[in-house]
Amino acid sequence: MAQRAKTENVWFITGAARGIGLSLARQALAQGDRVAATSRTLASLDRAFGGDNPKLLKLEVDLTAETSVQTAIEKTITVYGRIDRVVNNAGYGQQGTVEALTDAELRRNFEVNVFAPLHVLRYALPHLRQQRSGHIFNVASIVGFQGGYAGWGSYVSSKFALAGLTESLAAEVAELGINATVVYPGPVRTGFLSKDSLVVAQHSIADYTEAQASLELHLNGLDGKQAGDPEKVAILILQAAAASAPPLHLFAGKIANELAGQKMQAVGKDLELWRDASEATDFSN
47 lies in some domain: yes
Residue whose C-alpha is closest to residue 72's, from 127, 123, 24, 113 = 123
Q: Where residue 161 sits, what CATH number does that domain have?
A: 3.40.50.720
Residue 3 maps to a domain:
no
- Residues ≥6 apart with Cβ < 8 Å to 161: 110, 113, 114
CA-nearest of 200, 123, 106, 195 to 158 is: 106
- DSSP letters spanning 125-150: HHHHHHHT-EEEEEE--GGGT----T
Residue 52 lies in a domain: yes
Residue 178 included in any domain: yes
Looking at the domain assignment, is residue 17 inside a domain?
A: yes
Alpha-carbon torsion, ordered 100, 107, 167, 129, to 10 deg? -170
Quick check: is 169 in a domain?
A: yes
Residuewise pLDDT in 10s, the chain (285 residues)? 344 444 799 999 999 999 999 999 999 999 999 999 999 999 999 999 998 899 999 999 999 999 999 999 999 999 999 999 999 999 999 999 999 999 999 999 999 999 999 999 999 999 999 999 999 999 999 999 999 999 999 999 999 999 999 999 999 999 999 999 999 998 765 655 545 568 999 999 999 998 888 887 777 656 656 666 899 999 999 999 999 999 999 999 899 999 999 999 999 999 999 999 999 999 987
DSSP 225: -
Domain count, the chain: 1
| DSSP-assigned beta bridge partners for residue 134 | 178
The confidence score (pLDDT) of residue 52 equals 87
Tell me if 283 is assigned to some domain: no
pLDDT of residue 189: 57
Distance CA 266, CA 44 (A): 42
Decide if 49 contacts 79 (C-beta within 8 A). Answer: no
Domain with 112, as residue range(s), is: 10-276
* DSSP code, position 175: G
Instruction: Tell me which residues are annotated as active site.
Output: 155, 159
Q: Which residues contact 39 (CB under 8 A, 6 or more apart)?
A: 15, 16, 17, 45, 48, 58, 59, 60, 61
Q: What is the pLDDT of residue 5?
A: 43
Let me know if residue 2 belongs to a domain: no
**Which pLDDT does position 216 carry in this prediction?**
75
